[in-house]
Structure 1
Amino acid sequence: MSSPHTKRRVPTLVLWLGLPVLLFGAAFAWWAISPLFFSTRVDEAFPVAGASAIPDPTAAPEVVAVPLATATPDASPVTVTATPEQPTPGAAEEPTPSVEPTVAEVPTEPIALATGTFTFIDQLHWAEGEATIYQLPDGSRILRLENFKAQNGPDLRIGIAGHPMPRSSAELHDTGPGYIEFERLTANEGNQNYAIPADLDLDGFLSVVIYCRAFSTVFSTAEVN
Structure 2
Amino acid sequence: MGRVRKVLTGPLVIVVLVVAVGGVGLGLYWFQPWKLWQDETVQEALPGVVESSAPPGAAPSDEPSAPPSPATGPQTLASGELISHEHATSGTVKLVRLGDGSHVVRLENLNTSNGPDLRVWLTDAPVKQGRAGWHVFDDGKYVSLGKLKGNKGSQNYALPAEVNPSGFGSVSIWCDRFDVSFGAAELARV
Determine the structure 2 residue equivalent to 1:36.
36
**Corresponding residue number in structure 2 for 1:207:** 170
Partners in 1 of 2:39 and 2:4 — Cα distance?
56
Matched, 1:109 2:110: no
1:140-182 residue CA offsets vs partner (Å, 9 max, x unmatched): 111111111112222111111112305143x22334xx22111
Distance 2:70 2:153 in 1: 31
With CA pairs under 8 Å and 6+ residues apart, which has the higher RCO, 1 or 2?
2
1:150 aligned partner: 112
Identity over aligned pairs, percent: 30
Alignment length (residue pairs):
165
Q: Is there any run of 5+ residues in structure 1 with no aligned partner, and where?
A: 51-104
Q: CA RMSD in A?
A: 2.8
> What displacement does 1:19 show?
5.2
Structure 1 window deviating more from structure 2 (18-27 vs 158-167): it is 18-27
Deviations 1:9-66 (A, max 9, x none): 42464256325424424523661x222222111111121289xxxxxxxxxxxxxxxx
In structure 2, what is the Cα distance between the partners aligned to 1:13 and 1:34? 29
Question: What corresponds to 2:90 in structure 1?
Answer: 128
Q: 1:191 aligns with which of 146, 154, 170?
A: 154
Q: 2:152 & 2:170 partners in 1: Cα distance?
A: 19
> Do 2:31 and 2:116's aligned partners in 1 also have CA atoms closer than 8 Å?
no
Q: Given the two structures, how large is their TM-score scaled by the length of structure 1? A: 0.63
Shift of 1:220: 0.7
Matching residue of 2:25: 24
Partner of 2:48: 48
1:6: Cα distance to partner? Answer: 3.4
Q: Which has the larger strand fraction? A: 2
1:174 aligns with 2:136: no
Cα deviation 1:114-149 (Å, max 9, x = unaligned):
11110133xx52321111111111111111111111
Distance in 2, matches of 1:4 and 1:222, equals: 62
Contact 1:49 1:138 in 2 (8 A): no
Unaligned 5+ segments in structure 2 are 51-68
Q: Return the index of the structure with the highest Cα Rg.
A: 1
